[in-house]
Amino acid sequence: MSVLSDPIGDLLTRIRNAQSAGRTQCRADLSKIKLQLCELLVREGLLQSVTVEGTAPKQELVVTFLSDHPSLSLKRVSTPGRRVYRAVDELKPVENGFGIGVLTTSQGLITDREARLKKIGGELLCTIS
């Protein structure tokens, strides 16, 4: 087992690679933040489903893609070596409102639209379009 320095970046890369290979799903090691990120993408209609398989301590996320949706453009913004924080007035729409930005805040993982409505800022994890 290897230690990842950027588990969220690894998840985004696994999703990107699986979609470009034409797969219907991908697997990744389980963590709370990865599960929350995938559940947010399901809620936004960008993924079909996310399930947890296996028994603790070796559980995996199984991410299933939408069959009629084109491949997602996933970009990591904040990395372990360079954290990127945005105040609510610095949050700009991603792709003129057609994409979403994912922020981690005191209220959990939320989209940039929700952050502007709630008037809170946070760490900008990634953008998805």
d(CA 87, CA 98): 21
Structural domains in the chain, sorted by start? 7-64 (3.30.1370.30), 74-128 (3.30.1490.10)
pTM (two decimals): 0.94
CA-wise closest residue to 119 among 86, 83, 76: 86
What mean pLDDT comes out for the span 18-41? 96
Rounded to whole angstroms, what are the CA distances from 128 to 46, 54, 57, 80? 9, 28, 30, 19
Residue reference for tokens 């949706």:
69
Rg, C-alpha atoms of the chain = 15
Residue 39 confidence class, pLDDT cut points 50, 70, 90? very high
What mean pLDDT comes out for the span 47-66? 96
